[in-house]
């Protein structure tokens, strides 16, 4: 490594060790890397230094007379929670090092350390910290956007959800948010984070779908250098990035069984290994998971681990689809018109009443996201200040077909098979909802009445996105 003395990186490192030789050697090493270095020979002295100087990182020995490294760590976390601490541990005290991580140390190096490892870890820790800081300012920019006030609703069921969020935000409980696509799952996840005592820590969102099993594994848990072809450098995963904060695992229903197993372990033990790594990493990461799939059904069909399901489902939050809270539509429309008024140069527009009633009758398959997108499009394409039309997408799905086929129409109808299929599906969906309601979601009973097996009932319900538990008392 080329010495870059006298071109400081602007970061100051405090080195704490009662061994003078180590202090001096480390100072030389770090100064050669361009860092400013402050020395302390004891925990007490390091606290004095910290009272006077701005320090970006503390590197402390674990075994010291008077105050041990762990005791110092505890003090530092209490007084300077934002300064990362790297522990230097004696050979063979990995157990204590792990404990140190648990107590909030950012990392550890073993002594006699190799210089390259030390420099690498210092660099990486500082990098994570600066990323944290970036995130923090981003967070401030958006924090106005995500609080309860911005989950707009007047529906009783959503109000219940808001109460649930309030109850649970400030705990470390794992949360499972379920709801159809576009119902506001991510919005709720953010509301939980920004109303928890982790609000000033990172909120890391990651989607579990669209990645292959091995990519997802690396994404979540990180990997060591050389773990696989192309792993040129070590990378921390999302669980580590979200340490002390919240990890939002979106589309949790899409994870493979291999990753399910690993997730179970992190949730149970808070530890994992990076891909290709042997040492266990301990994290304090709160998990909020979401899915638009029916996890309970998946579990019963053996597609989702039962133990993981119960781990995730400690505190379930279910978001109702927009069609079950149409009373929210006018409110949301108004809110989105305000929210996106800058699309029309700040000219806030009004919605003509007939437009609104058309919206009330639309089948919102894409829920609130679909509504928001339509409002946005309408704002852009309306020249005046009253929105007189919101073109609804032609819905050739079951719901559109069921009412449409006026015999007097001169237009050619939908293709025969497609039409019949749609009508049948529509009838089947209605039948299922009705029988669920009348028999209070008792699948055994319903399967008998329908003269099919239970699996078929479950499969059909999944097909239509019907949740049987909703019909149980």
Q: Counting contacts by CB under 6 A, is residue 143 touching ligand ATP?
A: no
* Whether the Cβ atoms of residue 402 and residue 422 lie closer than 8 Å to each other: yes
Phi, psi of 271 (to 5 degrees): -130, 155
Q: Counting contacts by CB under 6 A, is residue 83 touching ligand ATP?
A: no
Determine the interface stretch with ligand ATP among 36-44, 146-154, 209-217, 232-240 (rule: CB under 6 A): 146-154
Q: Pick from 43, 69, 84, 182: which binds ligand ATP (CB under 6 A)?
A: 182
Residue number with CB closer to ligand ATP (89 or 292):
292
What's the min distance (Å) between Cβ of 338 and ligand ATP?
11
What's the min distance (Å) between Cβ of 298 and ligand ATP?
16
Q: Which does 313 bind (CB under 5 to 8 A by kind): Mg ion, ligand ATP, none?
A: none
Q: Counting contacts by CB under 6 A, is residue 185 touching ligand ATP?
A: yes
Q: Counting contacts by CB under 5 A, is residue 372 touching Mg ion?
A: no
Determine the interface stretch with ligand ATP among 59-67, 182-190, 193-201, 241-249 (rule: CB under 6 A): 182-190
Determine the interface stretch with ligand ATP among 236-244, 304-312, 368-376, 395-403 (rule: CB under 6 A): 368-376
Residue 35 to residues 4, 20, 127: CA-CA distances in angstroms? 9, 19, 13
Residue 223 to residues 76, 228, 233, 240: CA-CA distances in angstroms? 29, 9, 8, 11
What's the min distance (Å) between Cβ of 340 and ligand ATP?
10
Q: Pick from 61, 372, 426, 429: which binds ligand ATP (CB under 6 A)?
A: 372
List residues bridging with 272 in a β-sheet: 281
Q: Counting contacts by CB under 6 A, is residue 206 touching ligand ATP?
A: no
Q: Strands 12-16, 315-318: parallel, antiparallel or unpaired by DSSP?
A: unpaired
Q: Which does 74 bind (CB under 5 to 8 A by kind): Mg ion, ligand ATP, none?
A: none
Residue 378 to residues 117, 247, 338, 355, 393: CA-CA distances in angstroms? 57, 35, 13, 11, 12
Q: Which does 291 bind (CB under 5 to 8 A by kind): ligand ATP, Mg ion, none?
A: none
Determine the interface stretch with ligand ATP among 60-68, 121-129, 176-184, 445-453 (rule: CB under 6 A): 176-184
Quick one: DSSP state of residue 82? T
What secondary structure, in 3-state letters, does 10-42 show? CCEEEEECCCHHHHHHHHHHHHHCCCEEEEECC
Residue 53 to residues 14, 49, 59, 353: CA-CA distances in angstroms? 10, 6, 15, 64
* Whether the Cβ atoms of residue 26 and residue 59 lie closer than 8 Å to each other: yes
Tokens of 423: 């009508």
Quick one: DSSP state of residue 224? -
Residue number with CB closer to Mg ion (276 or 321):
321
Determine the interface stretch with Mg ion among 7-15, 164-172, 183-191, 336-344 (rule: CB under 5 A): 183-191
**Rounded to 5, what percent of the chain is helix, strand, coil?**
50, 15, 35
Q: Counting contacts by CB under 5 A, is residue 186 touching Mg ion?
A: yes
- Contact code string over 278-297 relative to ligand ATP, x by CB under 6 A: --------------x-----
- CA angle, 432 then 433 then 436, to 5°: 80
Which burial class, exposed, middle or buried, applies to 275 when counting CB atoms under 10 A from its CB (0-12, 13-18, 19+)?
buried
Q: Counting contacts by CB under 6 A, is residue 118 touching ligand ATP?
A: no
Q: Which does 182 bind (CB under 5 to 8 A by kind): ligand ATP, Mg ion, none?
A: ligand ATP
Total binding residues for Mg ion by CB under 5 A?
A: 1
* Whether the Cβ atoms of residue 36 and residue 61 lie closer than 8 Å to each other: no
Burial 332-366 (b: 16+ CB within 10 A, else e): bbbbbbebbeebbeeeebebeeebeeebeebebbb
Residue number with CB closer to ligand ATP (378 or 436):
378
Q: Which does 369 bind (CB under 5 to 8 A by kind): Mg ion, ligand ATP, none?
A: ligand ATP
The contact set with ligand ATP (CB under 6 A) reads 151-153, 179, 181-187, 292, 335, 368-369, 372
Q: Where along the sequence are the contacts to Mg ion (CB under 5 A)? A: 186
């Amino acid at each position: 490594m080329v010495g870059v003395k006298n071109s400081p990186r602007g970061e100051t490192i405090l080195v704490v060790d009662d061994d003078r030789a180590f202090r001096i050697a480390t100072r030389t090493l770090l100064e050669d890397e361009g860092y400013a270095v402050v020395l302390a020979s004891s925990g007490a002295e390091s606290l004095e230094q910290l009272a006077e100087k701005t320090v970006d990182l503390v590197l402390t020995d674990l075994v010291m007379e008077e105050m041990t490294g762990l005791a110092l760590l505890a003090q530092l976390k209490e007084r300077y929670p934002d300064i990362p601490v790297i522990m230097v541990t004696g050979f063979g005290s990995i157990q204590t090092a792990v404990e140190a991580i648990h107590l909030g140390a950012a990392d550890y190096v073993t002594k006699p350390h190799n210089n390259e490892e030390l420099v690498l870890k210092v660099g990486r820790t500082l990098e994570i910290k600066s990323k944290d800081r970036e995130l923090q300012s981003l967070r401030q920019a958006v924090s106005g956007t995500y609080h309860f006030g911005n989950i707009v609703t007047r529906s009783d069921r959503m109000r219940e959800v808001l109460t649930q969020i309030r109850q649970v935000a400030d705990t470390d409980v794992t949360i499972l948010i379920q709801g159809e696509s576009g119902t506001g799952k991510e919005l709720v996840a953010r509301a939980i984070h920004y109303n928890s005592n982790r609000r000033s820590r990172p909120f890391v969102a990651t989607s579990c779908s669209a990645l292959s099993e091995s990519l997802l594994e690396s994404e979540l848990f990180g990997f060591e250098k050389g773990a696989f072809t192309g792993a040129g450098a070590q990378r921390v995963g999302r669980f580590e990035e979200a340490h002390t904060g919240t990890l939002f695992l979106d589309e949790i229903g899409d994870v493979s069984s291999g990753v399910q197993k690993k997730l179970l372990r992190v949730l149970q033990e808070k530890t994992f290994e990076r891909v290709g790594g042997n040492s266990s990493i301990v994290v304090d990461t709160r998990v909020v998971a979401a899915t638009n799939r029916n996890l309970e059904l998946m579990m019963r069909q053996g597609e989702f681990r039962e133990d993981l399901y119960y781990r995730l489902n400690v505190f379930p939050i279910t978001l109702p689809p927009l069609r079950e809270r149409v009373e929210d539509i006018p409110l949301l429309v108004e809110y989105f018109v305000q929210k996106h008024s800058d699309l029309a140069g700040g000219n806030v527009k009004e919605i003509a009443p007939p437009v609104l009633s058309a919206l009330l009758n639309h089948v919102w398959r894409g829920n609130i996201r679909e509504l928001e997108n339509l409002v946005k499009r309408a704002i852009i394409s309306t020249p005046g200040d009253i929105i007189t039309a919101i073109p609804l997408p032609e819905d050739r799905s079951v719901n559109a077909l069921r009412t449409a086929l006026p015999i007097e129409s001169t237009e050619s109808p939908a293709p025969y098979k497609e039409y019949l299929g749609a009508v049948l599906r529509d009838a089947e969906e209605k039948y299922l909802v009705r029988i669920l309601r009348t028999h209070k979601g008792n699948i055994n009973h319903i399967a008998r009445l329908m003269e099919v097996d239970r699996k078929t009932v479950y499969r059909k319900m999944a097909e239509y996105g019907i949740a049987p538990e909703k019909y149980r008392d």
